[in-house]
Amino acid sequence: MDTATARKRLEEMRDYLDRSIAVLKAEHPAAEGTPGYPDPADAAANLSEADRTLTTLQAAQSQRSQVLEAMDRLAAGHYGICTECGRPVPEGRLEARPEAARCLACQSRAGRLRRRPPWPPRRQRPDAQ
């Protein structure tokens, strides 16, 4: 992907995420100014509608920061280079995830450490008898 295309796509993602975040914050005013809320354990224990909104908001904010980091890498001239192993991130992956910081191998290693969704908690799974 050439630099101009990558920049355009990242800017579109950032603008889209900005709009989503604004909408989500309007739906969940408590999300602003309460860093660390909710505690992940609480969120898993009572996943109300508001909690789901907050989870979506946090995911949008996290993706937005990844987009901004990708724009920094673009400006610094190392966009599309895996931040872990330094090899080029495959074109197809950048097409799908223009904000990707890592190649698929490094991402799946990193992702496995924190990918498990908070719900359901392992010990409460119905099939865990």
CB of 51 or CB of 84, closer to Zn ion: 84
Q: Least separation, in Å, of the C-beta of 87 and Zn ion?
A: 6
User: Cβ closer to Zn ion: 65 or 108?
Assistant: 108
| Contacts with Zn ion, residue ranges (CB under 5 A) | 82, 84-85, 103, 106
Q: What is the secondary structure of the chain as a DSSP string?
A: --HHHHHHHHHHHHHHHHHHHHHHHHH-GGGTT-TTPSPHHHHHH---HHHHHHHHHHHHHHHHHHHHHHHHHHHHT-TTB-TTT-SBPPHHHHHH-TT--S-HHHHHHHHHHH-S-SSS-GGG-TT--
CB of 69 to Zn ion, least distance (A): 15
Q: Least distance from C-beta 127 to Zn ion, angstroms?
A: 35
